[in-house]
Structure 1
Amino acid sequence: MESNIILPPKTMDITRVVSALFLILPIAILPLGCRQDESKIRIGVSIPRTTAPTYTLMREKMIELEKKEKHNVEIIWNGVKDQGSKKNHIALEKRRIEEMFNLDIKALVLKPLDPKLAYAIVHEAKNRNPPVPVISLDQMITGVSTYGHIAINEISLGEQAAQYLINQISGKGKVLVLEGPIGIPSLRNISIGVYNVLNTYKQIHIHNRASPLNEQSASSTTDQVLRDYAKNIQAILAVDSCLAVGAIQAVQLHGMTDLILTIGVGASQAACQLVIEGQHDAEVDLQPAERGEEAFKAAMNAIEQKPFDFDQQLQNGGIMTKVKFASSRIITKSNYTLVKEMWPDLFKNRNGVR
C-alpha cells in the first residue's frame, strides 16, 4: 500500500483531513475512523510545486528511500502552488504546514515561497512540544537558525561549466555567455562562477548577453551574435538548459554544430536529448534525486537527534547556518546513460545504448 499523504487543498481539522484523504486519495494510509498511527515517523515536505521536474525527481527519490527505511516512515507532501494561481499562496503555505504539525510530523523539509516571511513557520516549529526540526531546501530562511540547509552551490555550477569549456577549447577563443534575465539570483550566481574561471584566461574573449528565459529568445540572441561576429565564436555557455537549447537552434541554422562548443546548466530533458543526438556537447547535471536523498537523510538524522552533516557554515543575517551542498556532474556524449534514471523516456527506443 502506498504510504504517502498529499495534503488536501483546503484547510481542515484532523477528522476532515482523514476523511478527505480517504475519499480523494484511496492510496493514503490513514484508515477512516481510526486514530493516527502513533508508531509512524512522519516527515513533512513543503515546496512550491511538487509537479516541477526538479522536485518530481526529488520526491521520487525520497519515496524510494522511505520504502526502504527500516522504521515506519511516512512522508506528507505539500505543493503550495499545485492547486493553481488563484490563491494566497503565502497564507496557504502557513496553513498547510500547520496541518502537518497537527499530523505530528517529526521533521520539516521546507523550501519557502518567501524566505523572509518563513520566520513564523520556523518559530512555530520550535515552539511545538516536542520541537520540530526544520531543514531548509534551496532557499535559506532569512535570519533564523534551522537544523541545517541543503543547497545547490550555484557559483560552483558556473565554475564547473566554464572549466569544461576551457579544457575543450584549450583556453583560448571567443566565447558567448548567455546569462539569462536580470533579477534571478540563482542565474546571477551561476554567471559569477562562469566569470570566476573565464576571466583568468587572457586568450578568452567574452561576449555576454542577457536573454529572457525561453528558447526562442536565446535562439534569436545567439543568431544575432553569430551574424555580428561573422560566426567567429568558438564556444557558447548558457546558464540554463533552455537557453542552451535555444542557442543550439541558432548554431544549427548557421551550420556550425561541429564548429561551436555548447554547454548548458541544468540537464533538462530537451538538453540531454540533444547531447545524446550529438547536437550539444555538455550539460551540468544538478542531480535533483541526490538532493532528495540528502534531504531525507537530514530529516532522519534530525529525528534521531544526530548532528547535521554539513560542508560549511554561511552567514545568514546575524547567525551562521550549516549548509550541505548537493553534488553535480558533467553530462556528455560519452556518459549520457547517467541520466537514464532521470529521463527514462529518452532511452525507450534506443538500441545498443552505452
Structure 2
Amino acid sequence: MLRAGVISVRLAGKIVACCLILALIVPGCRKKEGAAKITPQPRIGFALADMRRDGNRVLKREVTARAGKDGVRVLWRDAKNDPMQQESDIETLLKQKVKVVVLQPVDPRAGPAIIRRLATARTRVITLETLPANSPLDGYVASDHARAGELAARFVTERLPAGKPARVLLLQGDTADSMAREIAAAAQAVLGGVPSLSVEASEQPRYDPAAAGAAVEEALAKGPVDAVIATDSRLIVGVLDVLRTRGLLERVITVSAGANRDALGALLAGEHDAEVDVRPDLLGRYLYDAALGLARDGRWNYDTRVASGDYSIPARIVPVRLIRPENTFLLDEQLKGAGPPPRKQERPSGEGGQEQGSREGRGGEQGQGGAEGKKKTKLKITTREGKTVEVEIEGEVKKIESTPAGGPAGEGGR
C-alpha cells in the first residue's frame, strides 16, 4: 500500500513536470506559427521622368490610392527631366531593395542601359509609354498610340474642306521615343490617304515647345498652314503661342495628344480644337496591378505582347479618346488637383460662343448702377495681344462694332 502511494506521488510529479514543459513549449510554437503568417509587403519603385507633367500627377494619385488600400509601400523618384538624375534615382531604388521598378525614361536612348542595370540587380522592370529598343522587359503599359494618331488625323481630315488642297504640319516630337514614332506613323497613314493634303513632318527632340514654335514659324514663312498635328500636348503650347501672335488661332486647325492642363485650358478658351486623352488614370491603375503582381507572384495579367528587338514583351494597351470642347467634362475628375488651373486668355468672363467669328468687342456684365438708378453697362474688352480694358457707360449697349486700325484685319475664322 505504501509502495503504491509512492508510485502515485512519483507519477503525479512526472505529470506535473510534463505539463510545465508543455506550457513552455506550446506558446513558443504558437509564436513561431504566427510569425510565419506575417508576410512583409513588397516595395515598388516608380522612376518617372518629370512629376510636373499633369499626366504623371494623375497617375501618382491613382497608384497612391490603390497602394494605400493594399498596404503596399511605393517609393517615388522624380528625375525632373534630367537623364543623369534618373540614373541616380535607379541606384537609390536599388539600395532601397525594391522588387519592381516602373520606368518612364527621360531619354529613350538611355533606356536600354537602365534596363540592363536593373536586370543585373535581379529587379523586375516595367516601362511606361516608351518601349526601349531590344530590351528584356517584364512588362510594358502604354496608351494606344496607333489609335491616338488615327483620331488626331481623322479629326483634321473631317474639319478641312473635302477635295480642297490643304497644308498640314505634323510635329513628330522626339523620334527616338517609340510613342512619338507610332503616333506619327498612324497619323501619316490617315493623311496619306487624302490626295488633296500636303503633309510636312518635322522632329522636336525632347518634345521642346520652342522647337515646335520654330517649326511653325518656318512653315508660315513659306506660305499658309491649314492644320497642325502634334504627337504630344507639350508641343502644342509652342504652336499656339506662334498662332496667337500672328492672329491665326481661328484660321489653323490644331490637335495634339496628351490632354495636359495647358492644352485643355486652350481648348476651353477656344484657342485649340481637340486633344487625344491618353487616360493617365487607367495607366496608373494597370501599372500598379502589373507591378504588384510581379512583386508578389512573378507574373501579371497582361492582354497582349509587343516585340522589342529579340524580345517578346508582355503588355497592356490602354484605350484613348478624342476630346473636343463639347466633351471636356470627361476630364474634370481626371485633372482634379493636377497642376495649375486651365488658363483662359483673351476671353472676357461670362462670354458664350463666338459672334461673327470675332473675339473682340464682346460686351457683358450688364446691370443696374448709379445713384439715380440709371442702367449702366460694363464692357470688358480683351485684345489678341492679351491687353484688357474695362469701361463702364450709362445705358444699355445696342450694338458693338470692331474695326481694325492701322492695318488689315486678321484671317477669318473657320
Whether the TM-score (by the shorter chain) exceeds 0.5 is yes
Equivalent position SS for 2:111: coil
Contact 1:275 1:282 in 2 (8 A): yes
Contact 1:178 1:243 in 2 (8 A): no
Q: Who is 1:120 aligned against?
A: 117
- How far did residue 139 of structure 1 move? 3.6
* Structure 1 residue identity aligned to 2:71: N
Equivalent position SS for 1:41: coil
* Structure 2 residue identity aligned to 1:291: L
Q: Who is 2:191 aligned against?
A: 198
Q: Who is 1:149 aligned against?
A: 140
Q: Who is 2:62 aligned against?
A: 61
2:93 aligned with 1:97? yes
Q: 2:268 aligns with which of 276, 289, 311?
A: 276
- How far did residue 59 of structure 1 move? 1.2
**Structure 1 unaligned blocks of 5 or more:** 1-37, 126-131
Q: 1:139 to 1:122 in 2, by over 3 A?
A: farther
Deviation digits for residues 113-145 of structure 1, max 9, x if unmatched? Answer: 6332222312432xxxxxx64433334466554
Q: 1:330 aligns with which of 314, 322, 325?
A: 322
Whole-Å separation in 1 of the counterparts to 2:318 and 2:119: 23
Q: Who is 1:339 aligned against?
A: 331
Contact 2:63 2:288 in 1 (8 A): yes
Q: 2:150 aligns with which of 151, 159, 165?
A: 159
Contact 1:179 1:208 in 2 (8 A): yes
Contact 1:147 1:308 in 2 (8 A): no
Deviation digits for residues 215-236 of structure 1, max 9, x if unmatched? Answer: 444344434434532x3x4322
Whole-Å separation in 1 of the counterparts to 2:343 and 2:130: 35
2:212 aligned with 1:218? yes
Q: 1:164 to 1:52 in 2, by over 3 A?
A: same
- How far did residue 89 of structure 1 move? 4.8
Equivalent position SS for 1:274: helix
Whole-Å separation in 2 of the counterparts to 1:134 and 1:215: 30
Whole-Å separation in 2 of the counterparts to 1:143 and 1:211: 23
* Structure 2 residue identity aligned to 1:119: R
Contact 2:143 2:278 in 1 (8 A): yes
Q: Who is 1:13 aligned against?
A: none
**Count of residue correspondences:** 301
Q: 1:141 to 1:234 in 2, by over 3 A?
A: closer
TM-score by length of 2: 0.62
Q: 1:45 to 1:171 in 2, by over 3 A?
A: farther
Q: 1:87 to 1:214 in 2, by over 3 A?
A: closer
Q: Who is 1:313 aligned against?
A: 305
Whole-Å separation in 1 of the counterparts to 2:159 and 2:311: 42
Whole-Å separation in 1 of the counterparts to 2:262 and 2:295: 39
Whole-Å separation in 1 of the counterparts to 2:46 and 2:130: 12
Whole-Å separation in 1 of the counterparts to 2:191 and 2:138: 36
Equivalent position SS for 1:262: strand
* Structure 2 residue identity aligned to 1:78: R
Equivalent position SS for 1:116: helix
- How far did residue 88 of structure 1 move? 6.8
Equivalent position SS for 2:112: coil
- How far did residue 187 of structure 1 move? 2.7
* Structure 1 residue identity aligned to 2:117: A
Q: 1:176 aligns with which of 168, 180, 184?
A: 168
Larger radius of gyration: 2
Whole-Å separation in 2 of the counterparts to 1:256 and 1:218: 16
Contact 1:138 1:152 in 2 (8 A): yes
Aligned alpha-carbon RMSD (Å): 3.5
- How far did residue 315 of structure 1 move? 2.0
Deviation digits for residues 185-238 of structure 1, max 9, x if unmatched? Answer: 343332212101110112222233445644444344434434532x3x432212
- Is the deviation greater in 304-313 or in 234-243? 304-313
**Structure 2 unaligned blocks of 5 or more:** 1-37, 353-414
Identity of aligned residues (%): 18
Q: Who is 2:42 aligned against?
A: 42
1:242-321 mapped onto 2 (5 Å cutoff): 242-303=234-295, 305=297, 308-321=300-313
Q: Who is 2:200 aligned against?
A: 207
Q: 1:320 to 1:205 in 2, by over 3 A?
A: same
Whole-Å separation in 1 of the counterparts to 2:102 and 2:299: 16
TM-score by length of 1: 0.71
Deviation digits for residues 221-277 of structure 1, max 9, x if unmatched? Answer: 434434532x3x432212232332332333334444333321122222111111001
Q: Who is 2:10 aligned against?
A: none
Q: Who is 1:14 aligned against?
A: none
Deviation digits for residues 128-166 of structure 1, max 9, x if unmatched? Answer: xxxx64433334466554432212343432222112212
- Is the deviation greater in 113-122 or in 279-288? 113-122
Contact 2:118 2:124 in 1 (8 A): no
Whole-Å separation in 1 of the counterparts to 2:204 and 2:342: 31
2:180 aligned with 1:187? yes
* Structure 1 residue identity aligned to 2:341: L
Q: Who is 1:76 aligned against?
A: 75
Q: 1:348 to 1:136 in 2, by over 3 A?
A: closer
